[in-house]
Structure 1
Amino acid sequence: MPSKLEQLRQMTVVVADTGDIDAIRDLQPQDATTNPSLVLKVADKPQYQPLLKEAIEKARQESLDLAQQLAYAVDRASVAIGAEINQVIPGYISTEVSAKLSFDIRATVEKARRLIHLYQEKGIGRDRVLIKIASTWEGIKAAEILEKEGIHCNLTLLFAMPQAVACAEAGTTLISPFVGRILDWYKTAQPNEDWSGANDPGVCSVQKIYQYYKEHGYQTIVMGASFRNTDEIEHLAGCDRLTISPALLEQLAADQGELKQVLKPEAASSQQPQPLDEATFRWQMNQDAMATEKLAQGISQFAADQDKLEALLAQL
């Protein structure tokens, strides 16, 4: 019998959640993603040093302002590694807008355009890139503008249905609902409950979003992300895409058991979806403590990793 990873690939597009080019070559995913957090994890590897040094050198030529130099250097480093990854995958490379811009529509749009320009300088068209943006109201509105310009977006840090609905209405190319971080919150809040298997609240969230999208005919791709174990992945087999860490990909590759398809598109519903205005979106998010806390925490963590990467680049 083929491995569970091979079986998964028959029903779901597999994405590698890593910036490690060697791991991507070995695992051969369809798509890949990179962000400051992932770049940090591979920054000390010798093959990345020339890319990082070139990034800071070019950034210093772009601006005299130190803060801007470092922000530009992160852009260039992310794109440089993304471009290398792009050569060994057939699909999208996701590259993240700084989390510090999560509440600024204009700045997010401008940063996304810059990232696309940097990719184009390396001969990579916008059709091979997803711009990764936090699923705040401002991030979703920025994505709506960018999608109309033909710049495809991946809305990340997505924890709740109002975010998913707003993203679909905005016409975003892809969303990344976070499974493991939802589970983390519930395990802390209610440690005595059984959150395993089909009871996993992160799994349930993605299943609900997937079915809602299919019922209403949305074209936005659902890509489950942030997994804590292979059991979560198996309960989402059949999802449009799943972005998985190399460690969990290797576990799936080593497992020869049977993998059943859980998610399948359902017939379109006759009910029309209800678009969300800003006030309704913010109210529904406010009423969901998990989503509010995890979104804020995620943005802060990504921003902190941005600071760490800037500090690293400043030393080169």
Structure 2
Amino acid sequence: MTHSALDQLKSMTTIVADSSDLSAIEKFRPLDATTNPSLITAAANQPENRALIENAFAQAKAEGYANDELIERTIDILTVKLGAEILKLIKGRVSTEVDAALSYDTEATIAKAKELLALYKQYGIEQNRILIKIASTWEGIQAAKALEAEGVHCNLTLLFGLHQAQACAEAGVTLISPFVGRILDWYKKAENVSSYPVEQDPGVLSVKQIYHYYKQRSVKTEIMGASFRSIDQVLGLAGCDLLTVAPNLLAELEQDTREVQLQLSEKQSQASSEQLFDTLDRESFKALLEHDLMAFQLLQSGVDGFIKAREQLSTLLRQSFGYDAEIQA
């Protein structure tokens, strides 16, 4: 019997659904799932989630929120409600993102993380099933360090460089999400090429570098490749701790019958030699980030993109509940 590429991959790597689409999660039954503002906005546009939105709005209103704070609280409640629904379908964890507008504010990020966890607790969800998702800015990494010290598990996202990965390891975060596809997109544009063979794919190579760096040094932080553009990229990282994959690519992997080869293992990592930076502080981290044009640009554009997605969700909710008209009145 021929096993699909997806089945073979699952024997090497933990597969995570990069989606807030409950029907897709139910179909593919991944161990874990990840969400972000763009995915939450997409889910909010689905008619089957109308009741969740109405319940979130009603809860926020009952809690006494009004005006702009009512919409912001509704978004947080909706995000957690979707996370709780996802957790009914999977055995593992769901990643829930802190408002990206707080990415450069350590204390505000910590406070928002605790608000989200308190909401999950209201719905009977244990803290160990939640990964608080935070952008890999210096301030975000320090927030994660403080949260991890209190037993809150974090997923550091928008990660594009080894210096970010090292800072996350030093902070003792649970998991990082290096973005494969966005790195590829940046290099294709910068170098004016249409494609790379997977062996030379800059995004794939970046995750491999981080993987080898971590395994050589017995770093406990898990690596979850994210933001894939093709199943070739996904299969190019077979053996990575985790891979978070969109439903359309999961469907392709389910139909693909090629033999999947292990690409990453701890044994392979011992033969690799990766650069070692001195222990990072704010100044050295910022200097390394600014020196890496790709990581610098993608981190900021990623934060901006997630802020924009949350603003779109805010607009959707305002229109949905006639809230703009209410303000004007």
Give the TM-score of the pair, scaled to structure 2.
Answer: 0.93
Give distance in 2, aligned partners of 1:273 and 1:189.
Answer: 26
Q: CA deviation at 1:36?
A: 1.9
Q: Is residue 62–residue 69 contact of structure 1 (8 Å, CA) maintained in 2?
A: no
Change over 3 Å in CA distance of 1:194–1:78 after alignment to 2? closer
- The residue type equivalent to 1:60 in the other structure is K
Give distance in 1, aligned partners of 2:48 and 2:122.
Answer: 21
Cα deviation 1:29-59 (Å, max 9, x = unaligned): 0100122210111223222111111112222
Matches within 5 A, 1:148-227: 148-192=149-193, 195-227=196-228
Q: CA deviation at 1:268?
A: 6.0
Gaps of 5+ in 2: 322-329
- The residue type equivalent to 1:239 in the other structure is C
Of 266, 285, 291 in structure 1, the residue corresponding to residue 289 of structure 2 is: 285
Q: Is residue 33–residue 95 contact of structure 1 (8 Å, CA) maintained in 2?
A: yes
Partner of 1:142: 143
Q: CA deviation at 1:202?
A: 0.4
Give the TM-score of the pair, scaled to structure 1.
Answer: 0.96
- The residue type equivalent to 1:288 in the other structure is D
Matches within 5 A, 1:60-71: 60-71=61-72
- The residue type equivalent to 1:280 in the other structure is S
Q: CA deviation at 1:64?
A: 4.0
Change over 3 Å in CA distance of 1:289–1:13 after alignment to 2? same
Q: Is residue 216–residue 268 contact of structure 1 (8 Å, CA) maintained in 2?
A: no
> Which stretch shifts more, 265-274 or 305-314?
265-274
Q: CA deviation at 1:67?
A: 2.0
Partner of 1:248: 249
Gaps of 5+ in 1: none
Q: CA deviation at 1:305?
A: 0.5
Give distance in 2, aligned partners of 1:63 and 1:152.
Answer: 30
Percentage of matched positions with identical amino acids: 47
Aligned pairs, number: 316
Q: Is residue 65–residue 73 contact of structure 2 (8 Å, CA) maintained in 1?
A: no
Describe the SS at the equivalent of 1:22.
helix
Give distance in 2, aligned partners of 1:194 and 1:116.
Answer: 42
Q: Is residue 36–residue 74 contact of structure 1 (8 Å, CA) maintained in 2?
A: no
Q: Is residue 163–residue 277 contact of structure 2 (8 Å, CA) maintained in 1?
A: no
Give distance in 2, aligned partners of 1:301 and 1:202.
Answer: 19
Q: CA deviation at 1:138?
A: 0.3
